[in-house]
């Protein structure tokens, strides 16, 4: 089964999702409101009291977003 990972994320959501790839000490503070949104989408989770990117979040991040291509152009 082919799963589609097309999420219409806001710029802030993309920024937090990218930041979650970094070690906790290197990423600084994350926006808790945006983090809650990513958790609701199963793109992030809280493990041992620290936010983490989920496997689904990694796939979405790698795939990117067509709206981000518009910003880069």
Model confidence pLDDT, tens digit, residues 32-69? 999 999 999 999 999 998 999 999 999 888 887 555 55
Domains of the chain (ranges; CATH) run 11-72 (1.10.10.10)
Model's pTM, two decimal places?
Answer: 0.78
Alpha helices, DSSP H, located in 1-73: 11-19, 24-27, 32-40, 55-63, 66-72
Q: What is the band of 22 on the pLDDT scale with cuts at 50, 70, 90?
A: confident
Distance from the first to the final alpha carbon of the chain:
33
């Amino acid at each position: 089964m082919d799963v589609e990972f097309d999420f219409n994320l806001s710029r802030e959501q993309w920024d937090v999702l990218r930041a979650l790839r970094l070690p906790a000490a290197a990423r600084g503070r994350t926006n808790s409101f945006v983090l809650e949104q990513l958790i609701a989408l199963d793109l992030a989770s809280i493990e041992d009291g620290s936010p983490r990117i989920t496997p689904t979040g990694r796939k979405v991040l790698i795939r990117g977003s067509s709206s981000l291509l518009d910003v880069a152009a």
